[in-house]
Structure 1
Amino acid sequence: MQYWLFKSEPDEYSIDDLKAEPNQTGRWDGIRNYQARNLIRDQIKEGDLVLFYHSSCKNVGVAGSAKVVSAPYPDPLQFDPESKYHDPKSHPDQPKWFSVDLKYDQHAKSFLSLSKIKSLPELAEMVLVKQGRLSIQPVTEKEWKFISQLIKIS
């Protein structure tokens, strides 16, 4: 099992939106960054755990957790001309972009802000701190356990 941090703008898709989905399961789509795409396509697996991170908002930070419940598959939005994530250069026989399904696990009992994360020496080496802009990031098991205790998730 691996651990990840997935960033989402809560006005577009929040942890509350994931929780409100049928079976509390939703598609993580719209990734249009090659590095994040490669992580989805090549490394993220069913059963991996995810820190759900709210970005580009007033309260930036870890809002809760989720679990990857599918293998990677082609993001259907890339083929939809009506979608803002449409990619006319992508074809069903050779897709460029991939998605996974996430299942809601729980809200953080104690929201963990980015400023708090940056202040903690135990998290100084996180990809979030070192390379903050990436929308999908690996998290080490040690970082996952430390954050899980801070936000009081099991």
Structure 2
Amino acid sequence: MPHWLFKSEPSSWSWDRQVAAGAAGTPWNGVRNHSAKLHLMAMEVGEQGFFYHSNEGKAVVGIVEVIRTYYPDPSDATGRFGMVDLKAVEPLAEPVTLEMVKTQPELADMALIRNSRLSVQPVTDEEWRVVRKLGGL
């Protein structure tokens, strides 16, 4: 099953707010990059991803799960972009910072390092395993 990484600035949408949304989850809206859009379109219900605090904190802080597949984003007046719905699954015991990721040879090709501006990214099985371990899971 594919894994993902979702980036959000905590001042806009934080892990704590995602957790507070509960099992109903929330839409992951506002994506306006075509590569990120394609990743959203590829997602299936039940797939999981890392929740990453970008700019402020720069760390993987939790795990989310896709609970609704791709559908139109009503905030996009052009009608070209969409979103998925996510719910929080569990926090990492320890945040995995960008600096920690950069020190791991197994993560050298991770999109978080190679394409740092992409807001929704694929994560390989090996990257998933390593980051979870670093995070205490």
Unaligned runs of 5+ in 1: 79-86
- 1:118 has 2:118 as partner: no
So what's the TM-score if we normalise by structure 1? 0.85
* Percentage of pairs with the same residue: 36
Cα RMSD between the aligned structures? 1.1
Query: What is the CA deviation profile of residues 13-41 of structure 1, one whole-angstrom value per residue up to 9, with x for unaligned ones?
Result: 01111111143511100001111112112
- Partner residue of 2:19? 19
Whole-angstrom CA distance in 2 between matches of 1:61 and 1:127: 14
Whole-angstrom CA distance in 2 between matches of 1:7 and 1:98: 16
Higher Cα Rg: structure 1 or 2?
A: 1
Greater share of strand: 2
So what's the TM-score if we normalise by structure 2? 0.95
Whole-angstrom CA distance in 2 between matches of 1:106 and 1:15: 10
Q: 1:47: Cα distance to partner?
A: 1.2
Whole-angstrom CA distance in 2 between matches of 1:75 and 1:96: 8
**Count of residue correspondences:** 137
Alignment of 1:2-13 (within 5 A): 2-13=2-13
- Partner residue of 1:82? none
Unaligned runs of 5+ in 2: none
